[in-house]
Amino acid sequence: MILIDHQVGTMAWTHSHDINLVKANALKLARIAAALEIPTVITSSMEDMVQGPIISELQEILPQVFANRVKRPGIVNAMHHEGFNKAVKALGRKKLFVAGVTTEICITFPVLQMLEEGYEVQVSADASASYTKYGDDLALRRMEKAGAIITTVDMIVSELAVDWTSPNGQKLVPILGYR
């Protein structure tokens, strides 16, 4: 399962990474989900406030998931939001790929709870970002120390492909985008 939290407003706050690369990698995750029909949850916090709406390109890639996104009223730990928590549990998956902005707030706390609940969590560091590099590094270290696997989108693509000549591999090669 893939969890995505990328809002226009919060992306403007990030300075830890090239935000264009973070956005491109978030969209890659969405394309992976679409290509392999991986259950996905998109969440946002206070879309009508400064955080702003979810990036619109996600609607083009995952229209139904986008329409059903979990809109949180400001709850920092998404797992504390009943709708989000139920959405995660309803998918029946124990392996989660997570990405979002900001890493040190919107990603860290739900990931820590997911780990406590027995999920295997992989955090895509290159599809996430924070206000500062320092904050981002500390958040990734904290999650890793708790048991999260820190990864990249291309590592996720390769892990899911297993073999580039397989049906899944053939679907994922174009998403990798190496040329």
Query: One of 79, 106, 129, 140 is an active-site residue; which one?
Result: 106
Claim: this prediction has a pTM higher than 0.75: yes
51 or 57: which leads in pLDDT: 57
Per mean pLDDT, which range of 1-5, 39-43, 69-73, 165-169 is the poorest? 1-5
Contact predicate 100/4, CB 8 Å: yes
| Non-local CB neighbours of 109 within 8 Å, separated by 6+ positions | 76, 77, 78, 79
Contact predicate 175/35, CB 8 Å: yes
177 catalytic per annotation: no
How far from chain centre, in Å, is Cα 170? 23
Among 124, 143, 112, 131, CA closest to 28: 124
Q: For residue range 86-108, what is the model confidence (pLDDT) as tens digits?
A: 999 998 999 999 999 889 989 99
